[in-house]
Amino acid sequence: MDPRDYIDFGEHYDNNFEHLNPDDMPNNENNLTSNDVEQPMHANMPLESNTQEENIDQTEVKKRKKTSEVWKHFKVCDQKLDDGTILPKAVCIYCKHALTCKTTNGTGHLHRHFNACLKKNGHNHARQSQLSANTGISSFKYSQAKMRVELARFIACAELPFRFAENRCFERFVQVALQPEFKKVSRNTNRSDVVKLYDEEKKKLINVFSNLKGSIAVTSDMWDGGNNLPFICVTAHYIDENWLLQKRIIAFRLLEFPHTGSSIFHAMMNVFKEYNITHKIFSITFDNASNNSSAIEQFKHVLHPPYGGKFFHMRCVCHIINLMVQDGLKVIQTQLQLIRDAIGYISSSSSRQQDFAHLCMSHGLKPIKLKKDIRIRWNSTYHMLKSCKGYTNVINFYYNNKMNDNLLRDEEWNVCFALVDFFKVFYDATIKVSGLEVILTEISRNLSISLPLTISNIQKTFNDTYLLYKKKYSVGTIATQSAPTVHLFGSSSSSSAAIFGMLASKGKQKSVISSRTEVFKYLDTEFVEFMTEEERNNFNILDWWKAHEKNFPVLSIMARDVLTTPVSTVASESAFSAGGRVLDEKRTRLTPQICEALMCLKDWEDADFRTQSFVDEDLSYFEDDSTSSLNEVC
């Protein structure tokens, strides 16, 4: 018999029989016996009639479960023919093409269609299930375009080089562990994606500023980058509609020489015009440089700041503190130089550091790494002296023995430590004024402090400013959107009149008559008396104004503007630390436009996660690194 006379039915059977579960098979009484083994079928042999199968009671036959993986890409639907016959069809979930799904046909044709459909439509089939807290299980569709956008955002926010996007190890990691359809992106493409993303996010920020109710306060400072190019950083501060304090870097640009007041003025004015905020500038915070003062005068002539410019120019408090402390350090310059020489001698060699570590352990002290300060940054001098407390004897012993002279004595340390305790006040003040969030917390802690009513000039300034605000924001122009029910420290009321009437009846307000105007209602009411201890400890001044915005419509606008104004330029200076990491010695060829895009995107992303904060990098620099010191000794 010719083997070719046999019919090959292999392609009609599912190739996944080995994955069948024995529980899915019919009962033993219906199983084939040993005598029922199928025999090869000859081409000339007549096929058995299906009449016997049709007569079998369908209730006695258990339907076999579909186990092939290909069914994840098809949906079984009934199709009605012209003659009324209903046939089941396997419909592709991607191209909606219907194929036959009879059990005698197998799944080979479904596999072939899926592979062809996948090649034709590419990544549109890269779907997987994802769990959402709101919508439950949903279908995730991989998109190469969306991946490029988020990769560009990640590169900018993580301060990574553009070549990271084409790293082979990163590509393998994503393909193996996350998404097999991932394809690496070249650094040129990633650079273009970063610029495009920056332009899109900038448009969103411009829209936010256009819808902003209150004013915008600005801080600015200058920095010489790692490539010796001067950059100017402009940061916008504002309180949004939810009474949350926001900060955004709106410019990080190259400023050409000379750095006169006029060049600073023109550079910042270009930024204000780009964001369309020239009419919203409430104040500008600079340091005490003379060119900044010159720029302020030009701003006043052009911007016409509100209320006669009383709040327009804010001098950086941290810069003022720095000048004061630097003058104080001159008093101990001789003693301080001896300590710097000793620390510099010990830390200049790894062998000396090891010998000093052994000496510390022999005296029962934990080994530390001594580090010199940065002279132009007084807080680093403060941390250097503070880190030496408890180690003065071993420093004197080691340094004097090496120098064969009694150069460093306890008298020098005592003088410096006395000034360190004095400088702690200035350091704490610098930390507290480095961010508005900290300032607002300090305001909350000092609610019980009240000024005597005899200070007539302060009262007059407050009343005059209120009248200016009231004239600008008349009742018809103030937003009258519905506000939440006012909760006055445990008491609730539907109208402000009832609230202040209750306060007056309890003697916490002078009189209802004197509180007819909004400003007198605010000044005459002793709100603190109605706070519990817990409410005082957890008090947030922005939350308070958000709850009482309806009762004080004009004063709430005043509060929004005044509380926005920063008292230091630390917000801009902190960007220079990130700028130093972006413009390191390996990335000095970055164009100023790319640098600005990277800096702004990182700051805007940090703002979304509320991770913008001032960090004293000198503090981490002088932290005790005892673990590494012990490792070196061992």
- Provide the percentage of residues in the chain whose pLDDT is more than 90: 21
In this structure, the number of other CB atoms found within 10 A of the CB of residue 429 comes to 13
Q: Give the pLDDT of residue 458.
A: 65
Identify which has the larger pLDDT, 137 or 141: 141
Q: Give the pLDDT of residue 574.
A: 66
What's the mean pLDDT in 233-260?
90
Is the distance from CB of 220 to CB of 314 less than 8 angstroms? no
Q: Give the pLDDT of residue 85.
A: 82
Q: Give the pLDDT of residue 35.
A: 41
Is the distance from CB of 252 to CB of 271 less than 8 angstroms? no
SS3 112: helix
Q: What angle do CA 172, 176, 180 make, to 5 degrees?
A: 95
Q: Give the pLDDT of residue 294.
A: 92
Angstrom distance (rounded) from CA 362 to CA 356: 10
Identify which has the larger pLDDT, 270 or 479: 270
Using pLDDT thresholds of 50, 70 and 90, give the confidence band for residue 488: very low
Q: Hey, what CATH class is 195-316+568-609 in?
A: alpha beta
What's the mean pLDDT in 389-396?
92
What's the mean pLDDT in 582-594?
73
**Ranges of each domain in the chain:** 70-106, 195-316+568-609, 322-447
Pull the structure tokens for residue 394.
Answer: 């071993």
* Average pLDDT, rounded, for the chain: 74
Contacts of 243 by beta carbon, 8 Å cutoff, 6+ apart = 542, 543, 545, 546, 549, 560
CA-wise closest residue to 306 among 486, 70, 560, 488: 560
Using pLDDT thresholds of 50, 70 and 90, give the confidence band for residue 612: low
Q: Give the pLDDT of residue 535.
A: 79
Using pLDDT thresholds of 50, 70 and 90, give the confidence band for residue 578: low
Pull the structure tokens for residue 513.
Answer: 């008559």
Distances in whole angstroms, Cα of residue 17 to Cα of each of 24, 26, 41, 66, 109? 11, 15, 21, 10, 17
SS3 502: helix
Is the distance from CB of 379 to CB of 618 less than 8 angstroms? yes
Angstrom distance (rounded) from CA 15 to CA 107: 8
Instruction: Check pLDDT > 60 for residue 26.
Output: no
Using pLDDT thresholds of 50, 70 and 90, give the confidence band for residue 58: very low
Distances in whole angstroms, Cα of residue 81 to Cα of each of 74, 78, 84, 85, 110? 20, 10, 5, 5, 21
Using pLDDT thresholds of 50, 70 and 90, give the confidence band for residue 1: very low
Q: Is the dihedral angle over the CA atoms 536, 540, 542, 543 positive or is it negative?
A: negative
What's the mean pLDDT in 175-199?
91
Is the distance from CB of 552 to CB of 469 less than 8 angstroms? no
Instruction: Check pLDDT > 90 for residue 271.
Output: yes
CA-wise closest residue to 396 among 451, 435, 339, 440: 339
Identify which has the larger pLDDT, 76 or 466: 76
Angstrom distance (rounded) from CA 259 to CA 261: 7
Angstrom distance (rounded) from CA 516 to CA 496: 11
- Provide the percentage of residues in the chain whose pLDDT is more than 70: 68
The DSSP annotation for 434-465 comes to S-HHHHHHHHHHTTT----TT-HHHHHHHHHH
Q: Give the pLDDT of residue 627.
A: 38
Cis, peptide link before residue 306, omega less than 30° from 0: no
Q: What pTM was computed for the model?
A: 0.65
Q: What residue has token string 């003022």?
A: 320
Identify which has the larger pLDDT, 268 or 100: 268
Q: Give the pLDDT of residue 435.
A: 53
Parallel/antiparallel/unpaired status of strands 230-239 and 216-224: antiparallel
Using pLDDT thresholds of 50, 70 and 90, give the confidence band for residue 138: low
Instruction: Check pLDDT > 70 for residue 42.
Output: no
What's the mean pLDDT in 599-628?
63
Q: Give the pLDDT of residue 186.
A: 92
Percent of the chain as helix, strand, coil, to the nearest 5: 55, 10, 35
Mind listing the pLDDT tens digit for each residue in 275-298?
999 999 999 998 888 899 899 999
Least confident of 80-84, 138-142, 151-155, 401-405: 138-142
Q: Give the pLDDT of residue 629.
A: 41
Angstrom distance (rounded) from CA 119 to CA 127: 15
DSSP for residue 263: H
Instruction: Check pLDDT > 50 for residue 312.
Output: yes
What's the mean pLDDT in 326-346?
89
Distance of alpha carbon 150 from the chain centroid: 14
Using pLDDT thresholds of 50, 70 and 90, give the confidence band for residue 86: confident
What's the mean pLDDT in 517-542?
79
Pull the structure tokens for residue 143.
Answer: 């998109």
DSSP for residue 19: G
What's the mean pLDDT in 230-249?
90
Instruction: Check pLDDT > 90 for residue 527.
Output: no
Q: Give the pLDDT of residue 592.
A: 86
Q: Which pairs count as long-range contacts for 48-54, CB under 8 Å and 24+ apart, including other chains?
A: none
Three-state SS for 173-221 is: HHHHHCCCCCCCCCHHHHHHHHHHHHHHHHHHHHHHHHCCCCCEEEEEE
Please, is 151 exposed, middle or buried when counting C-beta atoms within 10 Å of its C-beta (0-12, 13-18, 19+)? buried
Q: What residue has token string 């006379």?
A: 5
